[in-house]
């Protein structure tokens, strides 16, 4: 059997440096074999692009169909729309599914965890996805991991476990945390903030006959990460707990979330809008009537990101009309953040790059 890179799961080859799984011949003598791409990511935080397309990733994940295992589906709660896989049962068949909402460390203290769980459950239901259990964790900070591990153990009945999800939701980070807990080994699997890090199945034997598998991410094109440069991705991805920022807006005012999102407050008097974005994302307030020309003139400068590289690939902003009635509501900009509108009867036009979802949900606060 050909060796597999322990960092990303790619089959190791020594012929073509530009292809995935490349390692120099000398690396084959080592106990732990790592490909060149993982080595560079680990030591220099430098990502090498791979020539795999959406279908290649999907083909790999489809191999888990009807394996008689337990499926652990991880989603990024900061980017639910961008990380949810609506047709998951098509990929997994009739296997039981546990849903794990990851990156809970990013939510401000004002968010009620029970509301997050309710929202995850009702979102699954509305997509017709039946899940056995829902857990909230931070794989990076170790929050909720013991409960999730116990939940997985009690539902697997000695079977294999496949950890699946869209790219970048934290599957490998989650597994690294479990590996660390039972063997003490640190960062066994390669992780990075670029989507598409894991390139094959990585098997971690559990204590009995079964194994736990890391899998490549499914590419969800509504994920903002696919439309921004690596540098911009760093700016928009929150690294710590989000600090909500409150804007008192009069109707006829606009907020720009750098140059990647926009909210027009069309009517509804005076309201406070609570913005939840990466602490590094610049928010700009202006008059609605000036918003279009401001955007034209300042995109990529005052309104940055996008940087030059992102501008080449970023789809144009598209407006979505929203009418919000009485209850506190979150307007969610997939992969960017959300704005809480505390009380109702407001008309809003919310803009995101074409293909990136705008959605609403009952407020999590």
Ligand X SMILES: Nc1nc2c(ncn2[C@@H]2O[C@H](COP(=O)(O)OP(=O)(O)OP(=O)(O)O)[C@@H](O)[C@H]2O)c(=O)[nH]1
- Residue 164 is a binding residue for ligand X (CB under 6 A): no
Q: Is 364 in the site for ligand X (CB under 6 A)?
A: no
Q: How far apart are CA 286 and CA 303, in angstroms?
A: 12
Minimum gap (Å) between residue 106 Cβ and ligand X? 5
Taking the CB of residue 81, how many other CB atoms lie within 10 A of it? Answer: 22
Decide whether 69 or 73 has the Cβ nearer to ligand X.
73
Contact by Cβ (8 Å): 265, 254: yes
CA dist., res. 322 & res. 351, Å (int)? 11
Contact partner at residue 83 from Mg ion, ligand X, none, CB < 5 to 8 Å by partner kind: none
Residue 149, phi then psi, degrees to nearest 5: -65, -40
Nearest approach, Cβ of residue 143 and ligand X (Å): 8
Q: Beginning with the edge strand found earlier in the chain, give each strand of the sheet holding 329-333 in spatial order.
A: 245-250, 270-277, 337-341, 329-333, 358-362
Q: Which does 220 bind (CB under 5 to 8 A by kind): ligand X, Mg ion, none?
A: none
User: 139 contacts which partner out of ligand X, Mg ion, none, CB within 5 to 8 A by kind?
Assistant: ligand X
- Whether the CB-CB separation of 79 and 223 falls below 8 Å is answered with yes
Residue from 173, 223, 253, 363 touching ligand X (CB under 6 A): that is 173
List the single partner that 168 binds among ligand X, Mg ion, none, CB under 5 to 8 Å by kind. ligand X
Q: Which residues bind Mg ion (CB under 5 A)?
A: 171-172, 197-198
Nearer to ligand X, 21 or 165 (CB): 165
Give the shortest CB-85-to-ligand X separation in angstroms: 12
Task: Provide the total of helices (H) and of strands (E) in the chain, helices listed first.
Answer: 10, 16
> With contact defined as beta carbons under 8 Å apart, do 262 and 292 qualify?
no
Phi, psi dihedral angles at 255 (to 5 degrees): -115, 135
What mask of x and - would describe binding to ligand X in positions 71 to 110, judged by CB under 6 A?
-------------------------------xx-xx----
228 binds ligand X (CB under 6 A): no
61 or 288: whose CB is closer to ligand X? 61
**What mask of x and - would describe binding to ligand X in positions 128 to 157, judged by CB under 6 A?**
----------xxxx----------------
CA distance 329 to 361: 6
165 in helix, strand or coil?
strand
Cα torsion for 307, 312, 314, 316, to the nearest 10°?
A: 110
In the bound state with ligand X, the residue whose beta carbon lies nearer, of 147 and 345, is: 147
Alpha-carbon dihedral sign for residues 82, 186, 62, 51: positive
Binding region for ligand X (CB under 6 A): 102-103, 105-106, 138-141, 165, 167-173, 191-193, 195-198, 216-217
């Amino acid at each position: 059997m050909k060796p597999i890179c322990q960092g990303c799961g790619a089959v190791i080859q020594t012929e073509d440096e530009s292809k995935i799984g490349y390692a120099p011949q000398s690396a084959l003598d080592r106990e732990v074999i790592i490909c060149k791409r993982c080595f560079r990511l680990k030591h220099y935080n430098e990502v090498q692009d791979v020539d795999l397309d959406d279908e290649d990733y999907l083909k790999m994940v489809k191999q888990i169909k009807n394996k008689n295992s337990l499926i652990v589906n991880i989603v990024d709660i900061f980017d639910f729309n961008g990380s949810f896989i609506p047709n998951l049962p098509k990929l997994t068949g009739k296997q039981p599914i546990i849903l794990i909402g990851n990156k809970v460390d990013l939510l401000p203290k004002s968010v009620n965890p029970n509301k997050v769980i309710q929202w995850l459950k009702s979102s699954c239901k509305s997509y017709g996805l039946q899940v056995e259990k829902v857990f909230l964790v931070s794989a990076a900070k170790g929050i909720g991991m013991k409960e999730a591990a116990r939940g997985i153990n009690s539902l697997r009945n000695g079977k294999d476990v496949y950890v699946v999800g869209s790219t970048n939701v934290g599957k490998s980070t989650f597994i690294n945390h479990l590996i660390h807990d039972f063997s003490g080994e640190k960062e066994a699997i390669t992780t990075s903030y670029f989507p598409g890090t894991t390139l094959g199945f990585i098997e971690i034997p559990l204590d009995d006959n079964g194994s736990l598998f890391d899998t490549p991410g499914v590419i969800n094109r509504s994920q903002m990460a696919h439309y921004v440069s690596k540098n911009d991705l760093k700016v928009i991805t929150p690294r710590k707990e989000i600090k909500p920022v409150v804007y008192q807006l009069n109707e006829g005012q606009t907020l720009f979330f750098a140059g990647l999102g926009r909210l027009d407050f069309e009517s509804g008097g005076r309201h406070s809008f609570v913005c939840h974005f990466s602490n590094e994302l610049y928010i700009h307030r202006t008059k609605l009537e000036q918003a279009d020309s401001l955007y034209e003139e300042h995109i990529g400068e005052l309104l940055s990101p996008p940087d030059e590289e992102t501008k080449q690939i970023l789809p144009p902003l598209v407006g979505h009309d929203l009418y919000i009635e009485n209850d506190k509501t979150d307007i969610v900009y997939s992969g960017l953040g959300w704005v809480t509108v505390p009380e109702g009867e407001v008309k809003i036009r919310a803009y995101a790059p074409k293909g990136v979802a705008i959605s609403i949900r009952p407020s999590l606060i």
